[in-house]
Structure 1
Amino acid sequence: MRLLFLFVILFPFAVRAQYAGQRTYCNPMDIGYRYNFEQLNEQISYRSGADPVIVNHKGEYFLFVTISGGWWHSKDLVNWNYVVPDKWPMEDMCAPAAMSVHDTLYLFQSTFDKRPIFYTTTPENGKLHFYNRWLPQLPKDVGPWDPALFYDEELDKWYMYWGSSNVYPLYGSELDKSKRLKYKGDYKGLIYLHPEEHGWERFGPDHTSGIKPFTEGAWMTKHNGKYYLQYGAPGTEYNVYANGTYVGDHPLGPFTYAPYNPVSYKPGGFVTGAGHGNTFQDNYGNYWNTGTPWVAVNWNFERRIAMFPAGFDRDGQMFANTRFGDLPHYLPTRKWESKDELFTGWMLLSYRKPATASSERDTFNVARITDENPRTFWVAKENREGEWITIDLQKESQVNALQVNYTDYKSDIYDGTDPKIYTQFRIYHSRDGKQWEKIVDLTGEKRDRPNAYLELKKPVTTRYIKYEHVYVASPNLAISDIRVFGTAPGKAPATPSKFTVRRDTDPRNAFVDWQKVPGATGYNILWGIAPDKLYQTYQTWADAPTTKEIRALSKGVSYYFVIEAFNESGVSKTTPVVFVK
């Protein structure tokens, strides 16, 4: 997070989770995003989450998020319980750094002043202690803002990385364990952005702005003796926020730009933006990359949290899999072998489907419920129990899961600890629109779930889905999208034909063209630096043009492209690979 505003088709086979309850997850993460106090003076109220760090500590997971008053604890990466510190020793933490070493979890906040490093051996109960009283203050504007802590077990050495600026680089410094992790020697500048070379580092929607881009969100991962210094760019405000990496042989470099960048990128779909997160391993040794998707209804920096399967291929190339990254995925129960095997194959059934509502306020009509855009939303005339929305899937389909995404519209909540903040609703289904059966009932819960993901205990074959409102704490009932996942009868679409890719005179850009596929819901454009390394994805809808400019390429790097079509029944085969030099 930037100083100016202080304050993630192959059907799975053996990786299905063996839980009695939920086996899947869906982005954005289903946690109780806290109401902010950053914009209190401007009287803007909204839930938000940003700059995530997930730490595997003694086989359990802890999620730290900017200005959240605490953190979240999970044993399975899907059920997250909020933890309030016994006492918050300083002001709330912005873009926190967290690290687990042996039996201890270390925690540090973004700052330009003197601040302490904290520690805990029992983060599940919120007890924090001072590890040191403060780190020495660095020169003005140096930081450490957006810090990351790193312990190199092989070298038995400690490091910190930081930076959030469109002027200054990302910095790094060794820390002295014998002096309670004070700086050891001088800090050094490590990397700058080079948007004139790297197309994805350009600012703005789809990298179309000339504003000087920002680098932030440092993170370090060591894999097979190599050091992967990760960074977020070009800015959190748009769909192209991504994570990149440089690679080196030493924790403080020198580092070389990886030609396959960015390593986590999701510019299309419902969840857009994947930058400023971290990389961690689960209990099976699988890598994950977290990021900060963009909402921007109430403020440009209104965000959520996403988690994508990630890894390193046999050549040491780092990647995160964002293909269908906002559709349901299975939770792993072993180390996965194929990057796509966690995808459930449950397709989106609700895109642009007709919807009706009990009421509508002004121009906030119910058609927005199915447009797959978190920045448009429906508002009921009143926030009262009994308001409803019905979605017509237009044909009987198998429904496996749903997601209800609330919007903060003219909210007046600034204290996220109020026990009155929770969400309650019911979901019904019907084959004929007359006889209804309840399939979800959250009226017994008092949890806030602004992005509630609901995997059905048993799938249902149905045509109509009905949301029945019970309670939200804010003055207005506003919902951006109700998303329905499953499979419709029929065949997957045909493979797109007449697929071409033309590199622009500016080699940072390429123009992709294809012929429209009848019955397709959308398309995934896939590309990478080798035919078997197509790790990048740009999803586009079938009602958009069949030409797309990809502005995320690097000069001096050759690329391979394919495209696939998808609908409510499945995914086509990809086209033959197209090479562009």
Structure 2
Amino acid sequence: MAATPAGGRTWANPLDLDYRYNYEQMNEGISYRTGADPAIVRYGDGYYLFLTLADGYWHSNDLVHWQFVRPDRWPFDGPVAPATLVADGKLFLMQAAMEPKPLLYSTDPAHGHWQFWTRLLPAVPGAVWGGHESDMKPGELPPGPWDPGLFRDEDGKTYLYWDSSNVFPLYGAQIDLALDHAGEGEGKRMSFVTKPVALLKADPAAHGWERFGQDHTDTSIQPYVEGAWMNRHGDRYYLQYGAPGTEYNVYATGVYVGSKPLGPFTYAPYNPVGYKPGGFAVGAGHGSTFQDAHGNWWNSGTMWVGLNWRFERRIDLFPAGFHADGQMWVDTRFGDFPQRMPDHPLHEGESTFTGWMLLSYRKAAQASSQRPGHPPSEVTDENPRTFWVAANNTAGQTLTLDLGGLRTVRAVQVNYADYQSGRYGDAPDIVTRFRLEGSVDGRQWTTLADLSHETRDRPNAYLELDHPARIRYVRYVHGHVGAHTLAISDLRVFGNADGPPPPAPVLVSARRLTDTRDAEIAWKPVPGAVGYNVRWGLAADRLHETYQRFADQPTRLTLRSLNKGVKYVVAVEAFDEHGVSTLSRTATLAP
């Protein structure tokens, strides 16, 4: 896919949201900003984003700028994995539950107005409340619905999908929301029409990507399947799920396809459909798939940070779609570089990638101060789990990057780390304020962007410059953060250097290993490359899977995400500050 010319609104993953502080592990004194399990839905003329561990939700008119909404009625105490449904002019919201919980609806979510549809959901038929998975008897179901997903078909029937387990499958059932029974009381406004049916379980013995652990290397833990989401496209039903676990780089989205809402479903050979194990923003599992106002498809997912706690996470957003033969795809290639939000229906093969390259990788960095063990060099390593810490959190602290020569800078992303944050909940001082400056010679500076009067928190602030800047140095000038310390994990600069893109890498070998869930790919280094994308898929024109590697990593990669019995095509491309190479030759990975 060719890069899209600059212009229009841009964004970069992780999404620039005011993620809420969590204090999940209170006994350890850990405090951090987090968000996970996104449910994004279009309602009316706007988009609404609901997350795990948020005391509200976000509203957007363009999928780029998000405004936090604090609802007037919110019986949820830190809701987990919420589900949404648009039906009969209403927006429904259900939280994950191990016991009966409310079901809310709104006809004015932009202003935070919600009502009870029912104050207590009915129990899942066959579920044992208060039970533990190890105590379940044959035929009994675990309590729920945990990680629910709601879907309304074109015939008006409504379905519920749920569960999160490495023992039990995902379940589904038809439900009745009594939309045509206006006189029913709140307690009768939802019922199960059918008994729950088991729909899918993990099969890591056949699906390499469902294996647990970093790069699928932990075989001691059975994988989780969770986060059900259903879409219909044409006459096919796409039941999506997250696996193998949210606390590693390989958290991904899989899909089963069927001809009916409750199946039977067939495993898609092109799984995982949403996968991003390499780069700065890693992880793409447990999210939602939806269409925008122009008919374009999008898939959201959960990015892993894992600095303060293994469940510290962020949200990412990727283009998605369906081929004419029904194959679903999610494009995570350059998924944490700036992307352009289209204002029109995308045509086949059109990419949202701006072509703005990473200019800051491993560049020299200097700071006005630092704490031992957290030098400024940590802000250019593309790793959210390493970070610079200033000696104190005072206005005027600076962090300066030398890009190594004149570059055309178009956007900057400032990613903060929660190091000894000590905050929880909300407060007026939890806001992010800073100024970005640029210089040709490191002596005379001009303002690139100014957030000195920002009124919201921006843990992953992304700023597209009003005008491209021809500069060598970029300087962050601190104003304020609500945390106790000033800590920045990565100061990411995007744009282009002058010159042609790199040549295509030479693919040395691509072979399936004895365990055919694995393959080894090797290529020759390209001089001056910043990194490489190893790409694979079912055909040469469908290389939808990407593993991004940087040039200081080995030019040999073991892929552990393949499906047994499936033939793949693989190729490699190089990228640097100028652009992206053409693809190497393709190679076939026989089943």
**TM-score after normalising by structure 2:** 0.94
1:424 corresponding residue in structure 2: 433
Residue-by-residue CA offset, 1:409-429 (whole Å, 9 max, x unaligned) = 0111112x2111001000000
Tell me the amino acid that sits aligned with residue 175 of structure 1. I
2:183 corresponding residue in structure 1: none
Tell me the amino acid that sits aligned with residue 257 of structure 1. Y
Spell out the pairing of 1:232-311 with structure 2 (5 A cutoff): 232-311=242-321
The alignment status of 1:550 with 2:559, answered yes or no, reads yes
Tell me the amino acid that sits aligned with residue 152 of structure 1. D
Tell me the amino acid that sits aligned with residue 502 of structure 1. R
The alignment status of 1:183 with 2:192, answered yes or no, reads yes
2:157 corresponding residue in structure 1: 157
- Give yes or no for contact 1:158–1:181 (8 Å, CA) kept in 2: no
Spell out the pairing of 1:352-367 with structure 2 (5 A cutoff): 352-367=362-377
Residue-by-residue CA offset, 1:352-411 (whole Å, 9 max, x unaligned) = 000000011011011001000000000000000111011000010100000000011011
Distance (Å, rounded) in 2 between the aligned partners of 1:524 and 1:361: 35
Spell out the pairing of 1:427-442 with structure 2 (5 A cutoff): 427-442=436-451
- Give yes or no for contact 2:536–2:569 (8 Å, CA) kept in 1: yes
Q: Indicate the larger mover: 569-578 or 170-179.
A: 170-179
2:322 corresponding residue in structure 1: 312
1:46 corresponding residue in structure 2: 32
1:386 corresponding residue in structure 2: 396
- Give yes or no for contact 1:30–1:450 (8 Å, CA) kept in 2: yes
1:478 corresponding residue in structure 2: 487
Distance (Å, rounded) in 2 between the aligned partners of 1:93 and 1:309: 27
Residue-by-residue CA offset, 1:100-157 (whole Å, 9 max, x unaligned) = 224210000000101121100000111111112222223232411000110002x210
Distance (Å, rounded) in 1 between the aligned partners of 2:451 and 2:89: 37
1:510 corresponding residue in structure 2: 519
Q: Indicate the larger mover: 93-102 or 177-186.
A: 177-186
- Give yes or no for contact 1:201–1:233 (8 Å, CA) kept in 2: yes
1:230 corresponding residue in structure 2: 240
The alignment status of 1:499 with 2:524, answered yes or no, reads no
1:59 corresponding residue in structure 2: 45
The alignment status of 1:525 with 2:511, answered yes or no, reads no
Tell me the amino acid that sits aligned with residue 329 of structure 2. F
1:86 corresponding residue in structure 2: 72
Distance (Å, rounded) in 1 between the aligned partners of 2:4 and 2:526: 26
Residue-by-residue CA offset, 1:454-484 (whole Å, 9 max, x unaligned) = 0000000000000000101111000000000
2:148 corresponding residue in structure 1: 147
- Give yes or no for contact 1:16–1:331 (8 Å, CA) kept in 2: no
The alignment status of 1:412 with 2:422, answered yes or no, reads yes
Q: Indicate the larger mover: 83-92 or 521-530.
A: 83-92
1:31 corresponding residue in structure 2: 17
Deviation for aligned residue 1:489: 1.1
Aligned length: 565
Distance (Å, rounded) in 1 between the aligned partners of 2:453 and 2:91: 34
2:137 corresponding residue in structure 1: none
1:100 corresponding residue in structure 2: 86
Distance (Å, rounded) in 2 between the aligned partners of 1:239 and 1:78: 25
Deviation for aligned residue 1:340: 4.8
Distance (Å, rounded) in 2 between the aligned partners of 1:520 and 1:374: 22
Q: Give secondary structure in 2 for the equivalent of 1:131.
A: strand
Distance (Å, rounded) in 1 between the aligned partners of 2:69 and 2:437: 33
Tell me the amino acid that sits aligned with residue 314 of structure 2. R
Residue-by-residue CA offset, 1:61-104 (whole Å, 9 max, x unaligned) = 00000120000000011111100010212423111001222421
1:168 corresponding residue in structure 2: 168
Moved over 3 A (4+): none
Residue-by-residue CA offset, 1:554-581 (whole Å, 9 max, x unaligned) = 0000000011000000000001221111
Distance (Å, rounded) in 1 between the aligned partners of 2:88 and 2:497: 48
1:565 corresponding residue in structure 2: 574
Tell me the amino acid that sits aligned with residue 2 of structure 2. L
Distance (Å, rounded) in 2 between the aligned partners of 1:53 and 1:251: 19
Distance (Å, rounded) in 2 between the aligned partners of 1:470 and 1:554: 50
Which consecutive residues of structure 1, in runs of 5 or more, have no partner in the other structure? 1-8, 18-22
Deviation for aligned residue 1:195: 0.2
2:3 corresponding residue in structure 1: 11
RMSD: 1.1
Tell me the amino acid that sits aligned with residue 170 of structure 1. L
**TM-score after normalising by structure 1:** 0.96
Q: Give secondary structure in 2 for the equivalent of 1:65.
A: strand
Distance (Å, rounded) in 2 between the aligned partners of 1:175 and 1:134: 15
Residue identity (%): 53
Deviation for aligned residue 1:268: 0.3
Tell me the amino acid that sits aligned with residue 556 of structure 2. T
Residue-by-residue CA offset, 1:184-218 (whole Å, 9 max, x unaligned) = 12111110000000000000000000111111110
Match of 1:75 among 46, 55, 61: 61
Distance (Å, rounded) in 2 between the aligned partners of 1:195 and 1:292: 21
Which consecutive residues of structure 2, in runs of 5 or more, have no partner in the other structure? 129-141, 179-187
Tell me the amino acid that sits aligned with residue 205 of structure 1. Q
The alignment status of 1:370 with 2:371, answered yes or no, reads no
Distance (Å, rounded) in 2 between the aligned partners of 1:199 and 1:242: 12
Distance (Å, rounded) in 1 between the aligned partners of 2:433 and 2:506: 46
Q: Give secondary structure in 1 for the equivalent of 2:452.
A: coil
Tell me the amino acid that sits aligned with residue 340 of structure 2. Y
Q: Give secondary structure in 2 for the equivalent of 1:124.
A: helix
- Give yes or no for contact 1:135–1:183 (8 Å, CA) kept in 2: no
Distance (Å, rounded) in 1 between the aligned partners of 2:272 and 2:49: 23
- Give yes or no for contact 1:16–1:333 (8 Å, CA) kept in 2: no
Q: Give secondary structure in 2 for the equivalent of 1:218.
A: strand
1:444 corresponding residue in structure 2: 453
Deviation for aligned residue 1:16: 4.7
- Give yes or no for contact 2:122–2:190 (8 Å, CA) kept in 1: no
Deviation for aligned residue 1:532: 1.3
Distance (Å, rounded) in 2 between the aligned partners of 1:531 and 1:440: 42
